[in-house]
């Protein structure tokens, strides 16, 4: 009995680590979302004022677009943990409680699989190993692999495009972590953790 308890301890600790990482990540995403929303509002207001004054700032439009992109992906990751992602219940609502639970576990597992697949895709796309082999020479990497990710720059801000595209691997990792936490809760391996900092009613959760 004691040996079984000791054997279960590392697994239980790993589950706690996943849930704790998801909670801390969600707290960071909440701050990031608020900051980006304030930034987006400020950019739009400045854009309106400067255009009205006939002194438009040419890089604000692009900044606002990238701000919306980051808002979208960070918000989608947070929605995964908050279970606010859309779900089609025309079939599952006709199932028994046990089969509904199984369907929910399968749906959550598919989110995890999608997140892991996206991580692999981003890794192959950004090719950090190839970049390291090229001596972190973006031109050499582009010549060898035709991957121009690290040589391109944005139109008006003149930022490296890979900095903007970092939202994709970040989203992939965060969605996977949140999906694993949701899956552990759906399997009843850990108690469900109420989100902190988000005011949700019982009708807010779709999934």
Q: How many helices (H) and strands (E) does the chain have?
A: 7, 0
Residue 6, pLDDT score: 46
pLDDT at 189 over 50: yes
The predicted-structure confidence for 1-27, as pLDDT tens digits, reads as follows 444 444 455 666 888 899 999 999 999
* Contacting residues for 82 by C-beta, under 8 A, at least 6 apart: 26, 195, 198, 200, 204, 205
Contact present, 174 and 77 (Cβ < 8 Å):
yes
Residue 207, pLDDT score: 52
Confidence of residue 70 (pLDDT cuts 50, 70, 90): very high
The predicted-structure confidence for 91-142, as pLDDT tens digits, reads as follows 777 888 888 889 899 999 999 999 999 999 999 999 999 999 999 999 999 9
Share of the chain above pLDDT 70, in %: 89
Residue 12, pLDDT score: 67
Across the range 25-34, mean pLDDT stands at 95
Burial of residue 7 (number of CB atoms within 10 Å: 0-12, 13-18, 19+): exposed
Q: How far apart are CA 128 and CA 133, in angstroms?
A: 9
Query: 3-class DSSP state for residue 153?
Result: strand
Across the range 37-55, mean pLDDT stands at 93
pLDDT at 196 over 50: yes
Q: How far apart are CA 106 and CA 123, in angstroms?
A: 26
Between 64 and 3, the more confident residue is 64
Q: State the chain's mean pLDDT as an integer.
A: 88
Q: What is the pTM of this model?
A: 0.85
> If you compute the radius of gyration of the chain from its CA atoms, what whole number of angstroms results?
22
Compute CA 20 distance to the chain's CA centroid, rounded to the nearest angstrom: 16
């Amino acid at each position: 009995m004691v040996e079984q308890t000791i054997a279960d301890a590392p697994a239980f600790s790993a589950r706690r680590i996943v849930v704790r990482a998801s909670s801390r990540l969600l707290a960071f995403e909440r701050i990031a979302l608020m900051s980006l929303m304030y930034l987006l509002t400020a950019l739009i207001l400045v854009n309106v004022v400067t255009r009205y004054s006939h002194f438009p700032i040419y890089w604000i439009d692009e900044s606002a677009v990238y701000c919306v992109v980051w808002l979208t992906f960070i918000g989608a990751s947070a929605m995964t943990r908050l279970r606010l992602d859309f779900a089609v219940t025309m079939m599952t609502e006709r199932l028994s409680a046990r089969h509904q639970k199984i369907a929910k576990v399968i749906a959550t597992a598919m989110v995890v699989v999608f997140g892991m697949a996206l991580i692999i895709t981003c890794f192959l796309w950004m090719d950090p190993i190839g970049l390291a082999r090229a001596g972190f020479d973006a031109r050499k990497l582009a010549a060898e692999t035709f991957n121009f990710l690290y040589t391109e720059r944005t139109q008006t801000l003149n930022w490296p495009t890979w900095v903007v595209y970092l939202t994709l691997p970040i989203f992939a990792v965060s969605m996977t972590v949140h999906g694993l936490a949701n899956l552990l809760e759906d399997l009843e391996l850990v108690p469900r953790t109420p989100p902190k900092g988000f005011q949700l009613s019982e009708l807010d959760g779709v999934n």
